[in-house]
Amino acid sequence: MQSQLARAVKLLKQGELVAIPTETVYGLAGNALDEKAVAKIFDVKNRPSFDPLIVHVDSLEKAKEYVAHFPPMAEVLAQKFWAGPLTLLLPKKKIIPDLVTSGLPNVAVRIPNHPLTLELLKQLDFPLAAPSANPFGYLSPTTADHVRQSLGEKIPLILDGGSCQIGIESTIVGFPADVPTIYRKGGISVEDIERIVGQVVVLEKSTSHPAAPGMLIRHYAPHAKMYLGNIDSLLAAHDSPTTVVLSFQRYYDGIPSHRQFVLSPKGDLVEAAQNFFNILHHIDHLHPSVILAELLPEIGLGRAINDRLRRGAMNYSH
Ligand code: TXA
Ligand code: MG
């Protein structure tokens, strides 16, 4: 029997899609240079065509084949954080189809840090366009099962690489007017980026036509209604036999433990990020009437997790 990896190589060369593991979340991958394969990605995800895709490569040299100009600051960040959860927005070369970038002049590029996907990329002579492998707007997948549950019937292969180590998407950094700018908070903290390039601009909000559609107001959202705030006050207003609580660190009185979920009992933001989407998928399967959640400390990966909580919640005003 062919190995999963060999099957993945074959399918991708034929222009088919394959779900791939990365250290952040699972991706829905296709040949980034093949417009038909790229169109399939938008179709399977039900993704609007104005929301561009990240291009994945396995070396800095390969990234340079698709980027017209690699500014020194971007190169320093790439040297420091690749392979890893950093996506760079850089001017694209013509070879990258406009469909990939939704007609924008920049291409988003990264080297994912997962052995299986790095081996896959090594065996291909094209880069992989891959958004998170979930229906548009829904929770990102951090296990092969998550992908199977939402897109399983639409794709010929899910390459199972276990649970994602980081658990939230990559941090997206661009350089408009040579100013390092964070378009999406993610698996590398703002503080870690600033330690390398000095102060950065962090784009917080967006409208219906965002700079990066991960910035769309409602995104990363569970099916269940989620309210954000002080959990004791929220419980006073929303407690029912199917209310679920999602907290950072502690359990709350007055609600049974099987309806409480804690992101990191020891208060570790890295662990909270690892657990975040997995716990939300689990909660969603319980079909709660409502999820009551609290924000995490606004530092490190807490900022990235809070960003996703706000975009998934009903009561957050932008
Ligand atoms: O960790 C990740 O980044 C995962 C794994 C699979 O690599 N991918 C991921 O892709 O999160 P996606 O498509 O779910 O989110 C990518 C974000 C989108 O919000 C998109 O708008 C933004 O990147 N993006 C991609 N290309 C862009 C471009 N040329 N200009 C501005 N934003 C871009
Ligand atoms: Mg996504």
pLDDT tens for residues 9-47?
A: 999 999 999 999 999 999 999 999 999 999 999 999 999
**Residue 243, phi-psi category: left (phi > 0), alpha (psi -120 to 50), beta (remainder):** beta
98 lines ligand 1 (CB under 6 A): no
Stated pTM of the model: 0.95
Distance of CA 133 to the CA centre of its chain: 9
Q: What residue owns the CA closest to ligand 1's atom 31?
A: 212
Do residues 203 and 263 lie in contact, with contact meaning Cβ atoms separated by under 8 Å?
A: no
Give the distance (Å) from ligand 2 centre to CA of residue 170. Answer: 10
Question: Residue 10: its pLDDT value, please?
Answer: 98
C-alpha 79/C-alpha 57 separation (Å) is 14
User: Tokens 């007017």 identify what position?
Assistant: 177
Q: What residue owns the CA closest to ligand 1's atom 19?
A: 214
Q: Which atom of ligand 1 is nearest to the CA of 105?
A: 29
170 lines ligand 1 (CB under 6 A): yes
Q: Which atom of ligand 1 is nearest to the CA of 132?
A: 14
C-alpha 53/C-alpha 17 separation (Å) is 14
Q: What is the DSSP letter of 138?
A: B
Segments of the chain with pLDDT less than 50? 207-209, 318
Question: Residue 207: its pLDDT value, please?
Answer: 45
Question: Residue 215: its pLDDT value, please?
Answer: 55
Question: Residue 238: its pLDDT value, please?
Answer: 92
Question: Residue 208: its pLDDT value, please?
Answer: 45
Residue to substitute in 142, 172, 181 for testing ligand 1 pocket (most ligand atoms within 8 angstroms of CB) = 172
83 lines ligand 1 (CB under 6 A): no
| Collapsed DSSP state (helix, strand, coil) of residue 6 | helix
Question: Residue 220: its pLDDT value, please?
Answer: 85
pLDDT tens for residues 141-195?
A: 999 999 999 999 999 999 999 999 999 999 999 999 999 999 999 999 999 999 9
Segment 264-271 long-range contacts (CB within 8 Å, at least 24 positions apart): 269/296, 269/297, 269/299, 269/300, 269/301, 269/302, 269/305, 270/300, 270/301
Question: Residue 261: its pLDDT value, please?
Answer: 98
